[in-house]
Amino acid sequence: MKTIKQLNTFAIGLPFLILITYPIVKEGALINALLSTIITGFIQVLLGVKMIFADPRNTYLQIYIAGVILFFSIYLFNLRIYYIDIIGDVFFCLPPLLAIYLSVIIYKKANK
């Protein structure tokens, strides 16, 4: 669990570490920080899947996985089948909420 906590801390901190280089790199730092949030999401989804396989009866992890599946399902539906502006606007805030939710789960499990 300690490794998962450290990996999650790295994933959450990566965009902020890149953003710190803004005085040197300028616009490139902002763009790279935004792009690194994709890496953060990928790492967190992998951690969530690993944790759900280790503890499949954990309700909190089941809610997280369901949230990830719901996000991608609705996103792909909105993108490929029928585009609705409000769906894109509403689901813009879901990935940060999922990241916070998984982080809380990880830190609570690590501190037990």
Q: pTM for the full model?
A: 0.86
**Average per-residue pLDDT in the chain?**
89
User: Percent of the chain having pLDDT more than 70?
Assistant: 100
Closest CA to 44 of 95, 1, 106, 99: 99
- In angstroms, the CA 66 to CA 36 distance is 23
Closest CA to 31 of 19, 44, 17: 19
Region 42-62: what's the mean pLDDT? 95
Confidence of residue 65 (pLDDT cuts 50, 70, 90): very high
Block residue for tokens 């894109």? 88
Region 21-25: what's the mean pLDDT? 83
